[in-house]
Chains A and B, each alone.
Chain A
Amino acid sequence: MSTERMQPETVEFDVRTDEMLINMGPQHPSTHGVLRLVLRTDGEVVNEVTPHIGYLHRCAEKIGENLTPRQFLPYTDRLDYLAGISMNLGWALTVEKLLGHKVSEKTRHLRVIVAELSRIASHLVAAGCYGLDLGSFTPFMWTFREREKILDLYEDLCGARLTCSYITVGGVTADVPDGWLKKCEEFLTQFEPVIDDLHALLTNNAIFIQRTAGIGVMSKATALDYGCTGPVLRGSGVDWDLRRDGEPIYTEMYDGYTWRVIAAPEGKYPDDHPYPPVPPETILGDSWHRYFVRMLEVVQSMDLVRQGIEKYSMAAGDVDEPIPLKKKLPKGEAYLETEAPKGQMGFGIVSDGSPVPWRVRVKSSSFCNLSVTPELCQGVLVADIPAIIGSLDLVLGEIDR
């Protein structure tokens, strides 16, 4: 493991300069919220980065100890507010794991549809903001335009756009309205060509490649060592996705779906869908690959949504109602990680038998993904800091909880 670390070398000859301490954030355009990075810089070269977090700490775990699981559910929306539904899903499944509750077929497929839509929305924000971090404003507007359509779908579904609280413990809040699935399909149809536009504007743009290829290279071992998950881990070539490798209560949600994990352990991504060529100057585990994994996952999620719509329409019965608001929880402990768009989002619950949990644990994926920055940002240029931070796709609401 130690060989994977950065090795300091005395190599460069240069004019003698002074080091400077710079506060990047908490109010800074490219720290995606209220992240504060203290940079120790020598001219344009960054020698050390120290992240400081906690500016958005809202005591989510403490709140969870004072509410019943269903009451706590809207708070999970506020964790990763760009993929609220994925957070709902994680918490709902964790409580269901404790309860030993199984949802119906119809509910399961509906959950897949909305969760994958939220993955698309989150990855769109990630790609757009990444463009913005690198000084390209237009992809941001284009991706937000498409995300807006997903939010419109959510609005039709449950009335809320950002903090949906749609998936609840035991089921979903309501079945889909009439014609919603058709709208959803229409969205997917018109969204498909936009992906190519984004590839043209960012993925294969020469400047974009120059700015991201070989920047912030994270080896497999480093990624695992720091507990990086999600596209960050898969960008380093680790073939690991909880939708396939997770616990049964989560993986059985995807039973019957055909899909493959987006990762390139041998340097080749699954070619279920056509994708642009991988530039030769990129290194597996660099910022470009992390971005690219997200772009490929968007296409894959579209496919999963289509399959979900088909399966949902075929499934018999009704969707499940949520459990009673103040249902007594069985005594015990349950911890479950799900594959949220940003990585593995973990929820834990310890119950003493009352309706209110004794202890609630929220393990954030971005928290681990951020913890690797001091390692990645040694000896890079100031301009690489947004390029690296952006490629990790952080959401401070989730990190600070």
Chain B
Amino acid sequence: MAEFLAQYVPSWLAYTAVGLVQAALCLVVALASAAVFIWLERKVSARIQDRLGPTRVGGRFGWLQPPADGIKLLCKEDIIPAAADAPLYRIAPYISFCAVFAVFLALPFASGWVALDLNAGAFFVLAVAGLEVFGVILGGYASGSKWSLYGAMRAAAQVISYEIPLALCVVVPVLITGSMNLVEIGDSQKGWFTSWYLFHDPFTFVTFWVYVTCVTASTNRAPFDLPEAESELVAGFLTEYSGWRWVVFFMAEYAAMFVVSGFGAVLFLGGWNGPIPLASLLGLTPENHAILGWLGNLLGMANFITKAVLGVVFMIWLRWTLPRLRIDQVMTTCLKYCVPIASAMLAGVMIWTYLFPKGVIDGVRHSAPVVQQASAQPQSGDHR
């Protein structure tokens, strides 16, 4: 895009413009997703609980409830407790939000539609998404309240622990693809839904559910919402926050839900590849025409967003169904179940891909050449 623009305007201007547009797009997506999911949470939870949820602001479905909430919260007094460490207390919500926002930069919405096409995209997402908790710890500590401190400590213990099985889960699709580039991971699941990594083999199927557990825990969503457990810790790390800063924390949480759902969609659910390869069946590929390819990508983006939203709805559904776990049970789930299962699945996937490098169907059909291939495979080791 920037190269194209640079033919007409000075190249610095072209790059600046493209950079700004991309950043703004990501910010809009981050903010819009937060707003939409807050509305969605209210609606879904209301329906689960036999209520209607917002119905008045902005028409029948209460579309405008999130902006109305936002305006209300903006008008609230920004209270900084006397016992708080004011500078840290102030910046904590922004650290959380920036961390989540930075993930959007590396999240591909369709093949090639990514603000920052990183080679180590999967690793980058893991690294940056893990920083969200830093804002939580900082905010909880700087509030100068014991409840907040409890929330912060729980967040630290929980999120840092869950990063281990989470990383192990992410390694599985990376291993199958042989790349950490998220666009490549997505593209390698092209075709019918059977080529999604979820259905790649039994191990990936299990890995996906471990991933779901881990991201629910690392985004502090119920039943793992211990850092803000309202019946124990009043509101945990959010206890002292009010007004705009509270909104920023809140948006970070909802944007993070979108991020992990989208990330999971890319890793396991084929990303922008729909269950039916509609784009390639209709010929919407860049090989035919640039515009057609663009349309195909648009379809892919719709696919991706649908999957991510469904993931978020699943998390909302969980939250309004399950009671909260206790801190020791959360840690048990992580260390005694998630980590061993994820490790075993990783080993299983390794063996599976070694035995069936071209997928199960091909592998069974040509079982004899597989052995030959397997023995010929590690050329990389020949350098010794």
A: residues with CB less than 8 A from B are 20, 22, 28-30, 44, 131-138, 141-142, 145, 201-202, 205, 207-208, 210-211, 381-386
Chain B residue with the shortest CB-CB distance to A206: B322
Considering only residues 225-254 of chain B, those with a C-beta below 8 Å from chain A are 225-226, 229-234
Contact B50 A385 (CB under 8 A): no
B: residues with CB less than 8 A from A are 45, 48-51, 146-147, 150, 222-223, 225-226, 229-234, 320-329
Contact B327 A202 (CB under 8 A): no
The docked-state distance in angstroms from the alpha carbon of A136 to that of B320 is 7
With a cutoff of 8 Å between Cβ atoms, the chain B residues found around residue A20 in the complex are 146
Given contacts A22-B146, A383-B327, contact A133 B231 (CB under 8 A): yes
Given contacts A134-B324, A202-B323, contact A142 B231 (CB under 8 A): no
Contact A385 B49 (CB under 8 A): no
Nearest CB of A to B54, in Å: 16
Chain B residue with the shortest CB-CB distance to A25: B234
Contact B223 A135 (CB under 8 A): yes
Chain A residue with the shortest CB-CB distance to B147: A22
- 26 CB contacts below 8 A, A to B, read A22-B146, A28-B234, A29-B230, A30-B230, A132-B231, A133-B231, A134-B231, A134-B324, A135-B323, A136-B321, A137-B45, A137-B49, A137-B320, A142-B50, A145-B50, A205-B322, A207-B324, A381-B326, A382-B233, A383-B226, A383-B324, A383-B326, A383-B327, A384-B326, A386-B231, A386-B232
With a cutoff of 8 Å between Cβ atoms, the chain B residues found around residue A133 in the complex are 231
Chain A residue with the shortest CB-CB distance to B329: A210
| Pick from A28, A30, A134, A142: contact of B323, CB under 8 Å | A134
Nearest CB of A to B162, in Å: 17
With a cutoff of 8 Å between Cβ atoms, the chain A residues found around residue B324 in the complex are 134-136, 207, 211, 383
| Pick from B222, B232, B321: contact of A383, CB under 8 Å | B232
The docked-state distance in angstroms from the alpha carbon of A381 to that of B328 is 9
Contact A135 B146 (CB under 8 A): no
The docked-state distance in angstroms from the alpha carbon of A77 to that of B51 is 29
Chain B residue with the shortest CB-CB distance to A386: B231
Given contacts A20-B146, A211-B325, A211-B326, contact A383 B229 (CB under 8 A): yes
Given contacts A201-B321, A207-B322, A207-B323, contact A135 B229 (CB under 8 A): yes
Contact A135 B231 (CB under 8 A): yes
With a cutoff of 8 Å between Cβ atoms, the chain B residues found around residue A29 in the complex are 230-231, 234
Chain B residue with the shortest CB-CB distance to A385: B232
| Pick from A22, A44, A138: contact of B320, CB under 8 Å | A138
**Shortest 3 CB-CB contacts between residues of A and residues of B:** A135-B324, A141-B49, A136-B323
The docked-state distance in angstroms from the alpha carbon of A202 to that of B225 is 18
Nearest CB of A to B240, in Å: 14
The docked-state distance in angstroms from the alpha carbon of A37 to that of B237 is 20
Contact A138 B327 (CB under 8 A): no
Point out which of A30, A135, A145, A210 has the most chain B C-beta atoms below 10 A from its C-beta: A135
Nearest CB of B to A205, in Å: 6
The docked-state distance in angstroms from the alpha carbon of A133 to that of B231 is 5
Point out which of B51, B230, B327, B328 has the most chain A C-beta atoms below 10 A from its C-beta: B230
The docked-state distance in angstroms from the alpha carbon of A138 to that of B232 is 17
Nearest CB of B to A208, in Å: 5
Contact B50 A131 (CB under 8 A): no
Given contacts A29-B230, A133-B231, A385-B232, contact A138 B328 (CB under 8 A): no
Contact B326 A136 (CB under 8 A): no
Contact A381 B327 (CB under 8 A): yes
Chain B residue with the shortest CB-CB distance to A389: B231
With a cutoff of 8 Å between Cβ atoms, the chain A residues found around residue B49 in the complex are 137-138, 141-142
With a cutoff of 8 Å between Cβ atoms, the chain B residues found around residue A145 in the complex are 50
Chain A residue with the shortest CB-CB distance to B320: A138
Chain B residue with the shortest CB-CB distance to A208: B323
The docked-state distance in angstroms from the alpha carbon of A361 to that of B330 is 47
The docked-state distance in angstroms from the alpha carbon of A386 to that of B326 is 11
Chain A residue with the shortest CB-CB distance to B157: A44
The docked-state distance in angstroms from the alpha carbon of A137 to that of B324 is 10
Nearest CB of B to A131, in Å: 7
With a cutoff of 8 Å between Cβ atoms, the chain A residues found around residue B322 in the complex are 135-136, 205, 207
Nearest CB of A to B317, in Å: 10
Chain A residue with the shortest CB-CB distance to B235: A29
The docked-state distance in angstroms from the alpha carbon of A198 to that of B232 is 23
With a cutoff of 8 Å between Cβ atoms, the chain A residues found around residue B50 in the complex are 141-142, 145
The docked-state distance in angstroms from the alpha carbon of A141 to that of B233 is 22
With a cutoff of 8 Å between Cβ atoms, the chain B residues found around residue A138 in the complex are 45, 48-49, 320-321
The docked-state distance in angstroms from the alpha carbon of A133 to that of B229 is 9
With a cutoff of 8 Å between Cβ atoms, the chain A residues found around residue B231 in the complex are 29-30, 132-135, 386
The docked-state distance in angstroms from the alpha carbon of A67 to that of B231 is 40
Nearest CB of A to B384, in Å: 46
Nearest CB of A to B238, in Å: 13
With a cutoff of 8 Å between Cβ atoms, the chain A residues found around residue B232 in the complex are 30, 382-383, 385-386
Nearest CB of A to B335, in Å: 16
The docked-state distance in angstroms from the alpha carbon of A60 to that of B12 is 80
Chain A residue with the shortest CB-CB distance to B231: A30
Nearest CB of B to A368, in Å: 24
Nearest CB of B to A343, in Å: 23
